[in-house]
Structure 1
Amino acid sequence: MKNVEANVFKETVSAILHDHQSHVITVRRSSLVPVTVCSTPPKGSEIFSKQLQVTHIHGPCSPPKKGNTKSPSLHQILIDDQIRVKYIHSRISNSNQTTSTFAASAVNLPANSGQSLGNGNFVVRIGIGTPKQDFTVAFDTGSDLTWIQCQPCAGMCYSQQDSIFNPSNSSTYSNILCGHHACEQLQSATGNSAPCTTSCIYQTVYADGSYSSGYFARDKLTLSPSDVFLKFKFGCGEQNQGMFGSADGLLGLGRNKVSMVSQTSQKYGKIFSYCLPSTTNSTGYLAFGNQTSTTSRKIHYTPLLNDNRGPSFYFLNLTGISVKGKQLAISSSVFTTSGTIIDSGTVITRLPPAAYSALTKAFRGAMSKYPLAPAYSMLDTCFNLVEYSTVKIPSIVFHFGGGTNLNVDKSGILVQANSTQYCLAFAGNSGASDVAILGNMQQQTFKLVYDVAAETLGFGAKGCS
């Protein structure tokens, strides 16, 4: 395939449109050239047709940033991603201990890929208060509590994209008192051990030392003109420091009673969906409620499992992996020992050591015509593609309980480390009992439907189109 001309490349793509065992990718000569044009322009700050627009926070589809905010390097993204994974593993392995948790993040909202909390989070715009003020927040299926920065900060707030919320300017704002049952829900969701005298206090501490603390409060949440929640419970943070990028806070889509999913259940029935864009200059969406229609693409469902190690997480029954149409010889006990969650905030999918070893062996075998390259950070299956303009890569399929398959989009198989080096976008966990995590890179382009009430998760191909 050396020196393939553009017309030959088009013919090659056409010839394998129905080859479900392979994908063709174009080798880019630079991963550092910034993209400045949004291919699917945002539809405004208001939600449209029960959808919030999802965009990469550092891409041209996202709202303009204050100052010269630079996109993080892949190396930094992987470092932050590993910090998040270690924290998730700690939460699940120490589930019986009282610990502070991640803050939370998630009508359809536009979402952007955020720099905070591992750089792989996606952001949407929501409105808080009366009159409404709009905020850009990361949404997180691995968190419950929603929070934003609030005045007075007294020098304890980080620089954010929008003006910091001033609760005294909102006619519908109120603090939640200590004795209220909502404060008890907060404590059960976060392991919050803050002393309480009059008003309920929340504390959220992250694995990298970042934190948010303030009042647990109520105010009007606006997702669209017709989607308004008058007494939405959230954290009004007056002390916030850490690697949150330019996001104004977090929107929690976990399963606990303080999450947005639970708080809006009467209107949306504990159903939400999203599609994550595969490029920084394209958009996806975050939606709430039943979005199905007769014209919708087929959605295939797998059961959501409950696991007392992490009741807020969305556990799945991963049963196997196929490479280039052939299922790998991985014992079922490998996946039952670790368990598997799907997480919107983790970038790179993590697999049990035995499963990862089988995947890399099969993938390297299928890519044997391409020269290997040195490892890049945690990514140890890399290829030197300097001599190629196009490359044929094997398909990767995840098999889940209920006979549901996820045929990973080609954008989620290889990640470009530099101008010539491409690496398999998966990593192995340290121990066999560490939970496996389906990351957001492998979720890209799919419509993910979380029917929390029915305890099912749906996958739909080409979900962003």
Structure 2
Amino acid sequence: MASTPLSPMSLTFILYVFLVLLCPLCSLKKGLTVEGKETTKNYIRTVRVNSLLPSNVCSQSTRVLNRASSLKVVNKYGPCIPVTGAPKTINVPSTAEFLLQDQLRVKSFQVRLSMNPSSGVFKEMQTTIPASIVPTGGAYVVTVGLGTPKKDFTLSFDTGSDLTWTQCEPCLGGCFPQNQPKFDPTTSTSYKNVSCSSEFCKLIAEEAAQDCISNTCLYGIQYGSGYTIGFLATETLAIASSDVFKNFLFGCSEESRGTFNGTTGLLGLGRSPIALPSQTTNKYKNLFSYCLPASPSSTGHLSFGVEVSQAAKSTPISPKLKQLYGLNTVGISVRGRELPINGSISRTIIDSGTTFTFLPSPTYSALGSAFREMMANYTLTNGTSSFQPCYDFSNIGNGTLTIPGISIFFEGGVEVEIDVSGIMIPVNGLKEVCLAFADTGSDSDFAIFGNYQQKTYEVIYDVAKGMVGFAPKGC
């Protein structure tokens, strides 16, 4: 049967269908289909100007109370920090000081990835670290029970550290000031020092500096800008009234340098056998999650052994960073526009103890340029040597801002849309508010996904399955 020639009108119609329905697909690049996303998602964020400034009133969250094996998370520089006795004045570091702490922490990660602990580190820690520099233990704290009878201690929790430790009496080498009484081993019936021949002592030698005195195992850990030295011991740890762990390995610190501000030590959530997730794996299955609140005046939670949220999207833990929680970053977008990073960030540490997200210099420059272009309606300031771009919002009053949304994409099709509270930070009140990302100062593929950009997500560490998940609106 002979075919009927198409009329000019039919050809026009077919051409129209092709141009309208099919041709846009031709422009999509391999990888992130940013152009397509712009038609279905709103990549503009609206925020009240005054909400950028911290509040001095604590706003408690009730979500943690509805979950078993959960601890309340508070920002140690906010009004929700637990206080024992008379109220104490909290000296909040400036944004520049936070950045300095972060930079030292970044360097400590780089050293940690490039070298092994040495037996001479004790002397080095005692002589090279200025006591006036604040060590980076993270801004977020939880309260746990330790000893028999149980006493409460407020610790910074840190996914970049392994050993849990607290300052102990008599602290002969010198300790930083803390709000709560120090742990006194002589008052606990369950405290035991670890011998030099124990497996625990061998394990600490793989993770930190180790030494012995009178057959008692000593440890030494150096951070980006501080250190702790003490006795390795076992004790009873209480996460909740029903979750009590006997013979929990921890550090009884006899010498510490730096100011942890309102805390008594550190809760180690790293990946090694001495970290809390591994020590409690029989009950919690090496599974924990946290949600960091949008504001220092709000609370979040740290939960153990909870079921993974169905709303979570997960990405594999990278084998490239065996000691830390490493992720593969595959893209970054600003208001739906993909940045030309070309796979330049293949080693990203997700870290609860680093404040800002650090990007390789080329990526940081591309992010700043795109953000500046999309904020052309606002008054640009000179900024600082560390943050760019920066803006003056002081003339907006009680009005609102519209700022471009930023997303970070991880392997497995995981998109983390940064909460509006994690995009900009006041450096000098509203006179200078800056993009809250930092430069590693290097062109290498090394990056850190900091806690400021993790806010409001429930971040789920399923260590047993080798996955990290992100569930929006977690707190």
Same fold by TM-score greater than 0.5:
yes
- CA deviation profile, 1:146-202 (whole Å, cap 9, x unmatched): 100111223612221211111111111100100111100011011x14345401101
Unmatched runs of 5 consecutive residues or more in structure 2: 1-37, 123-132
Q: 1:312-351 counterparts in 2 under 5 A?
A: 312-332=323-343, 334-336=344-346, 339-351=347-359
Contact kept in structure 1, 2:144 and 2:237, CA below 8 Å: yes
CA distance in 2, matches of 1:278, 1:358: 26
Q: Aligned partners of 1:43 and 1:396: how far apart in 2?
A: 27
Alignment of 1:38-77 (within 5 A): 38-40=58-60, 49-64=68-83, 67-77=88-98
Aligned counterpart, 2:319 = 306
Q: Is the 8 A contact 1:214 1:238 kept in 2?
A: yes
Partner deviation per Cα, 1:238-288 (whole Å, 9 max, x = no partner): 112212222100010000110001100111110000000111211000000
Corresponding residue for 2:130? none
Contact 1:136–1:248 (Cα < 8 Å) also in 2: yes
> 1:395–1:378: structure 2 CA closer, same or farther, 3 Å change rule?
same
- Match of 2:383? 375
Q: Give per-residue Cα distances to partners, 1:28-71, cap 9 Å, x unaligned.
A: 2994xx63322216899x99622100011132222126532322
Q: What are the residue-to-residue correspondences of 1:257-268 with 2, within 5 Å? A: 257-268=273-284
How is 1:230-309 mapped onto 2 (pairs within 5 angstroms)? 230-292=246-308, 296=309, 298-307=311-320
2:104 alignment partner, one of 62, 83, 86: 83
Structure 1, residues 323-343: CA drift from partner, whole Å, max 9, x if none? 1112112211x123xx11100
In the superposition, relative to structure 1, how do residues 42 and 56 fare at CA in structure 2: closer, same or farther (>3 Å)?
A: farther
Instruction: Indicate conservation of the 8 Å contact 2:59/2:298, yes or no.
Output: yes
Q: Which amino acid aligns with 1:367?
A: M
Shift of 1:136: 0.2
Compute the TM-score of the two structures, normalised by the length of structure 1: 0.85
2:315 counterpart letter in structure 1: T
Deviation at 1:419?
2.4
Structure with more of its chain in helix, by fraction = 2
Quote the Cα distance in structure 2 between the aligned partners of 1:39 and 1:321: 32
Report the secondary structure of 2:247's partner residue: strand
How far residue 304 of structure 1 moved from its aligned partner, in angstroms, is: 0.6
For residues 164 and 216 of structure 1, do their structure 2 counterparts lie closer, same or farther at Cα, with a shift above 3 Å needed? same
What's the secondary structure of 1:215's corresponding residue?
strand
Task: For 1:448 and 1:41, locate their aligned partners in 2 and report how far apart those are by CA, in whole Å.
Answer: 17
Pairing 1:159-238 to 2, within 5 Å after superposition: 159-190=177-208, 192-208=209-225, 210-238=226-254
- The question of whether the paired residues in 1 share the 8 Å contact of 2:76 and 2:261 is answered with no
Match of 1:13 in 2: none
Gaps of 5+ in 1: 1-15, 102-114
Q: 1:431 to 1:344 in 2, by over 3 A?
A: same
Deviations 1:365-408 (A, max 9, x none): 11112121112351121112233332111111111101111011
1:302-451 matches, cutoff 5 A:
302-307=315-320, 310-332=321-343, 334-336=344-346, 339-388=347-396, 389-417=399-427, 418-433=429-444, 435-451=446-462
Q: Contact 2:137–2:157 at 8 Å: present in 1 too?
A: no
SS of alignment partner, residue 262 of structure 1: helix
> What is the match of residue 129 of structure 1?
147
Total equivalences in the alignment? 422
AA matched with 1:350: F
The answer to whether the Cα contact below 8 Å between 1:29 and 1:419 also exists between their aligned partners in 2 is no
User: Counterpart of 1:203 in 2: which secondary structure?
Assistant: strand
* Structure 2 partner of 1:20: 42
Q: Assess, with a 3 A threshold, how the Cα gap between structure 1 residues 30 and 351 changes in structure 2: closer, same or farther.
A: closer
Contact 2:331–2:409 (CA<8 Å) still a contact in 1? yes
Q: CA deviation at 1:305?
A: 1.0
Report if aligned partners of 2:196, 2:212 keep a CA contact under 8 Å in 1. Answer: no
1:19 and 1:138 map into 2 onto residues whose CA distance is: 37
Residue identity matched to 1:200 = C
How far the C-alpha of 1:312 sits from its partner, in A, is 2.2
How far the C-alpha of 1:26 sits from its partner, in A, is 1.5
Distance in structure 2 (CA, Å) of the matches to 1:448 and 1:224: 21
Query: Structure 1's 297 and 62: CA in aligned 2 closer, same or farther, altered over 3 A?
Result: farther
The SS at the match of 1:373 is coil
| Aligned-partner residue type, residue 299 of structure 1 | A
Equivalent pairs: percent with the same residue? 39
Q: 1:23: Cα distance to partner?
A: 0.1
| Contact 1:51-1:287 at 8 Å conserved across structures | yes
| Counterpart AA for 1:56 | N
Distance 1:463 1:285, change over 3 A: same
d(CA) in 2 for partners of 1:372, 1:138: 36
Q: Which has the larger radius of gyration?
A: 2
Query: How far off is 1:116 after superposition?
Result: 5.7
